[in-house]
């Protein structure tokens, strides 16, 4: 735990929190399983009347209260919905003053990163399909429930600094960083490029029929696979935004091979269209896909500076910033080719690809390298 938190105090508070859902409890044997800048995560043994529960997880906020309490609110919200019971850990309760909450311990298992690093392409493709389906199930279950979640989040600290409108405004305000890339590469910008940027902003800020709860940070490590179940973890970025925000991450932010992306997109759409009529309309779904891919790809250009044109830098594991930028722009060019609203963005992507290809010794494969996907890439 945080150096300012005494274990005996945490245990006493936690036992009181657990009493309503689990009955009288005795916590023991705390083991730190994750220690990061944002949080400290403990696994504790628990002795209680519910014999199906032998341990619990305590998660304490550290340096980012806004994100920590979003994680809290997200799990509390999802734990109230019958349809999402098996899609994330159960929330037991928490202590606002001391900044920690308790949740279900999912036990042993593996995450997508582990599966990607193993040498089994069939297993990873099955895992990706299941993950995409469960992402859609979670989003289907939360359609129309924005007020419930936002009320819960508003009752916890630092809610006012979050939300999709702020995210969209921040994204648009980073326009000067995009233009630094264009200037550095000598790329001309179409006259209606700013109109296209505004359209992307508007769709993200007001998703209309596609507004639902999303995880917000679907990284390979933010999930748990166990006995044909896939659950989402770490909801620090959980909130109501565009339904395709999470699924497009696997095309842009953490780009998988194109065949895997198509499978995930199809699984997601087939599940989500059961409850979202807009997802049944291929034209609307395709437009949403294009816009959210553009939102994500252009965001990457605001995170990574054009200084890498001359000197590459590490990005994630064995993936470099050049690889991340080139992959994002390549996928941006593909995603916007048939979207009339984004034709200026498509043109810019073409110019950037041509310019970068002439400068960088980029191989045909710029995606992250995972053993399970070697035969697919």
Instruction: Please check whether residue 1 lies inside any domain of the structure.
Output: no
pLDDT, tens digit, 9 for 90 and up, residues 56-82:
999 999 889 999 999 999 999 999 999
Q: 98-152: per-residue pLDDT in tens?
A: 999 999 999 989 999 999 999 899 999 999 999 999 999 999 999 999 999 999 9
Both 100 and 121 in one domain: the answer is no
Q: How confident is the model at residue 254 (pLDDT cuts 50, 70, 90)?
A: very high
Query: Do 161 and 307 share a domain, yes or no?
Result: yes
pLDDT digits (tens, 9 = 90+) for 338-365: 999 999 999 999 999 999 999 998 766 7
Question: Does residue 188 share a domain with residue 71?
Answer: no
Position with higher pLDDT, 366 vs 92: 92
Residues 262 and 169 in one domain: yes
Same domain membership, residue 141 and residue 242: yes
Cβ neighbours of residue 341 closer than 8 Å, sequence gap 6 or more:
196, 199, 287, 290, 291
Chosen domain end from 104, 134, 169: 104
Percentage of residues in the chain having pLDDT higher than 70:
98
Instruction: State the pTM of this model.
Output: 0.95
Identify whether 2 is part of a domain.
Answer: no
Give the other-Cβ count within 10 Å of 122's Cβ: 8
Q: Judge if 368 and 279 occupy the same domain.
A: yes
CATH code of the domain covering residue 210: 3.90.1200
* Residue 228 pLDDT: 82
Count of domains for the chain: 2
For residue 4, pLDDT beyond 80: no
Which CATH number covers residue 47? 3.30.200.20
pLDDT at 377: 62
- Residue 22 within a domain: yes
Q: Which residue has the higher pLDDT, 3 or 351?
A: 351
Whether 265 has a pLDDT exceeding 90, the answer reads: yes
Domain boundary among 104, 123, 157: 104
Is the same domain home to 198 and 73? no
1 pLDDT more than 60: no
Residue where one domain finishes, among candidates 59, 83, 104: 104
pLDDT value, residue 82: 97
Same domain, 58 and 117: no
Task: Specify the pLDDT at position 364.
Answer: 61
170-204: pLDDT as tens digits: 999 999 999 999 999 999 999 999 999 999 999 99
What pLDDT sits at residue 148? 98
Q: Do 43 and 66 fall into the same domain?
A: yes
Same domain, 98 and 135: no
- Asked whether the predicted pLDDT for residue 38 surpasses 90, the reply is no
Q: Is the same domain home to 280 and 309?
A: yes
**Are the CB atoms for 200 and 295 separated by under 8 Å?**
yes
Query: For every residue of the chain, which 3-state class applies, written as one string?
Result: CCCCCCHHHHHHHHHHHHHHHHCCCEEEEEEEEEECCCEEEEEEEEECCCCCCCEEEEEEECCCHHHHHHHHHHHHHHHCCHHHCCCCCCEEEEECCCCEEEEECCCCCECHHHHHHCCCHHHHHHHHHHHHHHHHHHHHHHCCCHHHHHHHHHCCCCHHHCCHHHHHHHHHHCHHHHHHHHHHHCCCCCCCHHHHHHHHHHHHHCCHHHEEEECCCCCCCCEEEECCEEEECCCCCCEEEECCCCHHHHCCCCCCCHHHHHHHHHHHHHHHCCCCHHHHCHHHHHHHHHHHHHHHHHHHHHHCCHHHHCCCCEEECCEEHHHHHHHHHHHHHHHCCCCHHHHHHHHHHHHHHHHHHHHCCCCCCCCCCCHHHCCCC
Which residues span the domain enclosing 353?
A: 112-373
Whether residue 175 sits in one domain with residue 55: no
Domain membership flag for residue 368? yes
Q: What is the mean pLDDT of residues 277-306?
A: 98
């Amino acid at each position: 735990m945080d150096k300012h938190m005494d274990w005996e105090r945490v245990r006493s508070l936690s036992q009181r929190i657990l009493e309503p859902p689990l009955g009288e409890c005795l916590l023991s044997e705390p083991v730190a399983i994750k220690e990061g800048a944002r949080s400290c995560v403990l696994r504790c043994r628990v002795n209680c009347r519910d014999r199906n529960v032998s341990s619990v997880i305590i998660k304490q906020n550290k340096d980012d209260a806004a994100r920590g309490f979003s994680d809290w609110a997200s799990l509390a919200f999802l734990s109230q919905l019958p349809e999402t019971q098996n899609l994330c850990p159960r929330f037991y309760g928490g202590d606002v003053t001391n900044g920690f909450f308790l949740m279900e311990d999912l036990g042993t298992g593996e995450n997508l990163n582990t599966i990607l690093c193993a040498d089994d392409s069939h297993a990873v493709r099955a895992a990706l399909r299941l993950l995409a389906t469960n992402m859609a199930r979670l989003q289907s279950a939360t359609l129309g429930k924005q007020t419930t979640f936002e009320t819960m989040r508003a009752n916890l600290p630092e809610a006012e600094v979050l939300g999709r409108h702020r995210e969209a405004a921040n994204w648009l305000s980073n326009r000067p960083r995009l233009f630094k890339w264009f200037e550095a590469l000598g790329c001309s910008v179409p006259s209606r490029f700013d109109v296209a940027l505004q359209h992307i902003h508007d769709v993200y800020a007001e998703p209309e029929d596609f507004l639902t709860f999303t995880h917000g940070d679907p990284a390979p490590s933010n999930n748990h696979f166990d006995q044909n179940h896939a659950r989402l973890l770490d909801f620090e970025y959980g909130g109501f935004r565009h339904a395709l925000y999470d699924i497009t991450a696997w095309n842009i932010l953490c780009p998988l091979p194109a065949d895997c992306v198509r499978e995930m997109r199809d699984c997601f759409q087939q599940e989500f269209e059961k409850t979202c009529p807009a997802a049944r309309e291929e034209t609307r779904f395709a437009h949403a896909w294009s816009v959210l891919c553009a939102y994500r790809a252009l965001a990457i250009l605001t995170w990574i500076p054009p200084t890498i044109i001359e000197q590459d830098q590490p990005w994630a594991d064995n993936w470099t910033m050049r690889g991340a930028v080139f992959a994002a722009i390549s996928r941006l060019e593909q995603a916007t080719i048939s979207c009339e609203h984004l034709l200026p963005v498509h043109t810019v992507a073409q110019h950037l690809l041509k310019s970068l290809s002439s400068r960088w010794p980029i191989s045909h494969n710029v995606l992250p390298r995972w053993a399970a996907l070697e035969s697919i890439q």
